[in-house]
Amino acid sequence: MASIRHWLGSRSFYLASLALIAFSLTVSPFGISVGTFLLAASWLAGPPLRERWQRLRQRPSLLLFISIFFLCLIGMTYTSNLHFGLHDIIIKLPLLVLPLILGTSTPLSMGEGRVLLAALLAGLWVSSLTALGVLLGWIDHPFRDIREISIFISHIRLSLILGVTLQAVLYLLLRRWQQLTKAEKVFYLFSISWFPFFLFILKSLTGFLMLTLLLASAYLLLLQKARGFMLRYFLIILGVTIVLLSAAWLSRATDRFYRRDTLPGLATLGTTANGNPYDPPANLEEVENGHYVWLYVCEKELRRAWNHASPVPYDSLDQAGQPLRTTLIRYMSSKGLRKDSLGFSRMSPEDIRNVERGMTNHLFSHRLALYPYFYVLLWEWEQYKKGGLSGHSHIQRLAYLRTGWHIARDHLWTGVGTGDVPDTFKKYYRQEKSPLSPEWQLRAHNQYLTYWITYGIFGALWFLVAFFAPFFMERGYRNFFALVFIIIAALSMLYEDTLETQAGVYFVAFFYAWFIFGMAEALPVKPEKYGNDGKDNR
């Protein structure tokens, strides 16, 4: 029995449990749970609990952070939906367990940290290569949106974990190159080459944000490391050039989106090549790539041509659940074709398959291009101005924020309690007669606002203090890893309910516990001092 306890309490078992959690973050919720259970067993089998309690008492920053979990328990005292409340408490349990264990254990050395980083990267390689297999059709997993190729974890959480991990890899490559083994150098270089490209493939707003932060960090680290005047001057010119080129691209892309065909007189539409009259335009507001959707439409010819070319009936739904006729007309408009038999004859077999899948614009088939993503953002904004919300993943967040603000204002002091948030949102959506369809009537998508809704204004303020104050109390601003993590986590909470899912909670709890409470060596933000040999001589 003593030997088992000794084995469980050993440093190697403790590190292996953490590595299992790190690997499973992007691959397996079950692996995360098993890793957490083993980590807790290792902690209990380690030094006496009296010693742990002494460490906890001497670390007020740790007590402050884990109070976030106890805020959930307080909210249970005045909730009516106990079932969801208990579910929420279980989800947030890692906010108590991981910081408590890492914060009262011997801090992780730099070598141990690199083991965890390797486990993180291994999980990310599995997750990203699986997503690539889905994208290329090697793995049978249907998807309608490119962001659905991430099958183990939400593309948003995956992007966040990738962002933090890549920042760590970048730092080690640029600042600790001499200390890395050859295997680590090769592994890190392959990772820093592939994962930014993968973030671009995902086409998620979070992914682009992580990519931008990564490039900005690389630029600043290189600028700090540059020793000669000419090199620094070159890097400054390069940075300014990239900013100007990006601004020029955005301007050109916006102009391209808002460009319109010349609108002909409706009395002079003429006839098709077969002599059939074009249908009167349903409206002249919908546009795809500058071409009017409902102009030059002859459904008589289009129905016959489509039914002859495709087994999917013209008057049915596409694979995305949309009226196929509408998808076809929008798709042909995006290519600048007239919607008649002659225009349809210029549709390729791939175009027909795209319409069957529910693709409304031929640009969306260009999966590696950036403009289609920007096009979607502008298109959703135009639909929002016309009153359209449902299914527009970026713009409908404005409706979530508006509804969340109304709830927070009406429950200013105490909030609605831990378990009543979903029910309260449903109630307010009904009262507002929201234009959002029921499947899109979601929560605030802003963690700060969600804490206000749940626990009232004082609970929200307590959350802000408990989340950010330990970072300063532990001098996290001097640690590159901790600084990058807190920035990414804080930004994610502006547009996501990061702490309302298991993946999001583990993302925050794991990196917070590791970088702020569990690191033996802080990796400085400012350049390190080197001797003439170029190695760290501190």
**Segment 223-249, tens digit of pLDDT:** 777 777 777 778 788 888 888 888 898
Q: Region 264-283: what's the mean pLDDT?
A: 79
pLDDT digits (tens, 9 = 90+) for 293-350: 888 899 889 999 999 999 999 999 988 788 999 999 999 999 999 999 999 999 999 9
Residues 125-132 have a mean pLDDT of 93
Q: Which of 222, 252, 250 is nearest to 236 (CA)?
A: 222
Backbone angles phi, psi at 534, to 5 degrees: 80, 5
Tokens representing residue 56 in the block: 């906890």
pTM over 0.85: no
Predicted pLDDT at 120: 96
* 510 and 23 Cβ atoms separated by less than 8 Å: no
Share of the chain above pLDDT 70, in %: 93
Position 105, amino acid: S
The string of pLDDT tens digits covering residues 21-52 is 999 999 999 999 999 999 999 998 877 788 88
Task: Sketch the domain layout of the chain as residue ranges.
Answer: 1-46, 266-365
Tell me the average pLDDT of the chain: 85
Question: Which of 417, 441, 419 is closest to 90 using CA atoms?
Answer: 419
Q: What angle do CA 198, 199, 204 make, to 5 degrees?
A: 135
pLDDT bracket for residue 268 (50, 70, 90): low
pLDDT at 526 (0 to 100): 67
**Paired residues of 339 in beta bridges:** 297
Q: How far is CA 532 from CA 208, 529, 535, 536, 537, in A?
A: 39, 10, 8, 10, 9
